[in-house]
Amino acid sequence: MSSASLPTAPSLALFGFEPLRAALEYASLRLKRFAYERTGDGHPVIIFPGLGTDSRAVEPLREFCTELGYTGLGWGRGLNTGPKGDVDAWLADLATHVRSLAAGTGQRMTLIGWSLGGIYAREVAKLLDGKVRQVITIGTPFAGSVESTNVGLVYRLLNGQKAAREPAMAARLATAPPVPTTSIFSRSDGVVSWRACVQAGGRDVQNIEVDGSHCGLGWNHEVWAVIADRLALPDGRWKLYRRSGCQ
C-alpha cells in the first residue's frame, strides 16, 4: 500500500469528544447491564490493554468474560507503554509470558486486544502456534501507519521518542494471524482511522462495525455482544457473525 493510500487519522474535532463519549458509554454500561447466558467452557481469555492504559481499563471486559464462564485474565504487564528495545525480542518475551498465563488449563486460549493491545494479540498468536484458538481486536489499527492515528503525542510522552513503523513491519502487522480473527471497529472512532482496522481478505476473518468512541469500546454493549458470540464458538469451528453492519 502506497503512502498516498494509507488511512489518515480521524479529525481533531472527533478526537476531542473521545473522553465525553467514553464516559457516557461507561455510564450506560453501569446503568443497563444486558443479560447473557453463562455458557462458557472455561478456556482462558487473555486481554491486552491499549497504549497508556493497564489492566484496570479492561477490567469490566475481563469480568464480563468471567461472568460468561471463561477464565478472564489480564496481560499482567502493568502499564502499556509500547514495545521496548528490539521489537521481535520483546514480542517473543511477551509470547512466553502469555503461554505461562494459560499453562495448566488444558485448553487453547482466546486473545483479545484493545487498540495497540490488539497488535500484541495478533503477533503473539503468530508466535504461539497451536496454543491460540482465535484473536479478537477492538479498534486496532494494524492496517495503517502512525499517521492513521492520533496517539503519536501519547507515545512520545510515554517513551520520549516519535513512534515509527517501517514498511516491512507495516506489511507484517497487516498480515492476519493463522487463526480465526475478528476485527471490531467504529467509523466514529476519534483516535484511530477505522479503515486501518479492516483486515483485507484472509480465511476465517471478519471485520465487524459497531457504533462507539475509541476510548469506550472496551465497555461498549455492541462490542460485548460480538465478543460473547465469538467466545461461544467451539474450538476449531468458525462462522460469520450475523448482524447488519458486518463486512
- The answer to whether residue 240 is domain-embedded is no
**What's the pLDDT score for residue 247?**
46
Residue 142 CB neighbours (<10 A)? 26
- The answer to whether residue 194 is domain-embedded is yes
Residue 198 to residue 219: CA distance in whole angstroms: 21
Q: Which domain holds residue 52?
A: 8-231
Say which amino acid occupies 95.
A
| CATH number, domain containing residue 133 | 3.40.50.1820
- The answer to whether residue 137 is domain-embedded is yes
**What total of structural domains would you count in the chain?**
1
- The answer to whether residue 242 is domain-embedded is no
Residue 226 to residue 206: CA distance in whole angstroms: 11
CB 3 within 8 A of CB 145: yes
**What's the pLDDT score for residue 2?**
47
- The answer to whether residue 236 is domain-embedded is no
Per-residue pLDDT of the chain (247 residues; tens, 9 = 90+): 444 467 888 998 999 999 999 999 999 888 877 778 898 999 999 999 998 899 999 999 999 999 999 999 999 999 998 888 888 999 999 999 999 999 988 899 999 999 999 999 999 999 998 999 999 999 999 997 777 787 764 545 444 555 555 677 778 889 999 999 999 999 999 999 999 999 987 789 999 999 999 999 999 999 999 999 999 999 999 999 987 444 4
**What's the pLDDT score for residue 121?**
98
**What's the pLDDT score for residue 166?**
64
- The answer to whether residue 12 is domain-embedded is yes
- The answer to whether residue 24 is domain-embedded is yes
- The answer to whether residue 239 is domain-embedded is no
Indicate the DSSP class of residue 133: E
The b-or-e profile of 26-60 (16+ CB within 10 A means b, else e) is: beebeeeeeebeeebeebbbbbbbbbbbbbebbbe
